[in-house]
Amino acid sequence: MVVSYNRKALLRRAIEALERSEARETIEIVVVDNGSSDGSQELESEYSRARFIRIPRNFGLTKAMNLGVRGSTGEYVFFLHEDTEVFPETARILAETLDSQAEAGACCPLLVDAEDRPAPQLGHFPPDDTWQPAQPGPDPMPVDYPRGAAFMMRRFFLTAMRQVDERYGQFGSDADLCFQIRRAGKKILLAPAARARHAGRAQDSPLRKADQKQGTAAWVGKYGGFFSGLSARLTTIFGALGSLQLGVLKYLLSGQKIDGTQQE
């Protein structure tokens, strides 16, 4: 499942990479277009074997993920961002890893950059949008929190959770999913034989920066309690004020996240 917003060229490459996947006939490609205005919808006519779900405006990542999950049927759900290109063997290796590792609730490929070097991928709890490249060995290795740019998990976990927590906007949902899987006593495996090329963004808007900080505060509040969440939110507000990030501060004070009510 690919979620995309106003990144048509990247989305095209992501779909084309999935179309080249080994055992393509076993893969269900679902694209959730989050209210794009750059002509991304035109890709639906080019990729007739993919299913497109269109949302009228950008409701944020979590709502789009939930719509994509409900619009798919597979035993495993492979979450992808539109700036991620999988290699032909990637989906097959991840599914085979989950097939053979009953103790694993989710699996991810090794993220690489344009030169095929390990890209920033592994975070920590509480999430703060900082990432380190993986240092993989020859076999699947357990990790706590790989970023959600490429992440396959068992559908029954999503069914048990009912849905991805929509208190998060664009950021925080991957940390939430990983933490719940780990809390259930299941492993998250990084399969180094599976790779995905991740582009990322050169810079973020004030709203996206605020959304990331709001996601961190929401995660801390959910798992640390109300006062911990309040403290985290106040820390982000005073941090933005102290560094004179007035655009970010505006969204933090209003509690605005990327959820369809914002105007970037």
**Digit-coded pLDDT (tens) for 59-94:** 888 989 999 999 888 899 999 999 999 999 999 999
Are the C-beta atoms of residues 118 and 111 closer than 8 Å to each other?
Answer: yes
Lowest mean pLDDT among 12-16, 127-131, 144-148: 127-131
Q: Check residue 225 and give left, alpha or beta (phi > 0: left; psi -120 to 50: alpha).
A: left
Q: Which pair of tokens denotes residue 102? A: 């009953």
pTM of the model: 0.90
Q: Which of 3, 36, 172 is closest to 164 using CA atoms?
A: 172
Residue type, 72: S
Taking CA atoms, 205 is separated from 199, 202, 219, in Å, by: 17, 10, 21
Residue 95 pLDDT greater than 90, yes or no: yes
Rounded CA separation 215/209 (Å) = 10
- How far lies 36's CA from each of 61, 72, 107, 111, 206, in Å? 13, 21, 29, 26, 19
pLDDT of 262 strictly over 70: no
Q: Over range 211-217, report the average pLDDT.
A: 90
Q: How do beta strands 120-122 and 30-34 pair?
A: unpaired
Question: Which two structure tokens, joined as six digits, stand for 215?
Answer: 């996601």
Per CATH, domain 2-198 is 3.40.50.300: no
CB-based contact 89:24 (threshold 8 Å): no
Confidence at residue 186, expressed as pLDDT on a 0 to 100 scale: 95
CA nearest 261: which of 46, 60, 96, 30? 60
How high is the mean pLDDT of the chain?
Answer: 90
Report pLDDT for 20: 95
pLDDT at 202: 65
Beta-strand relationship, 76-81 and 150-154: antiparallel
Cα 195 from Cα 249, distance rounded (Å):
37
Measured in degrees and rounded to the nearest 5, phi and psi for residue 189 equal -105, 135
What type of residue is 258? I
Q: Where in the chain is the domain with CATH 3.90.550.10?
A: 2-198
Contact call for residues 218 and 167 (beta carbons, < 8 A): yes
Q: Which residues contact 236 (CB under 8 A, 6 or more apart)?
A: 213, 214, 216, 217, 252
AA identity, residue 250: K
SS3 208: helix
Closest among 221, 26, 65, 84 to 158, alpha carbons compared:
65
Token pair for 122: 């592994």
Better pLDDT: 260 or 111: 111
User: Exposed (0-12), middle (13-18) or buried (19+): which is 26, by Cβ within 10 Å?
Assistant: exposed
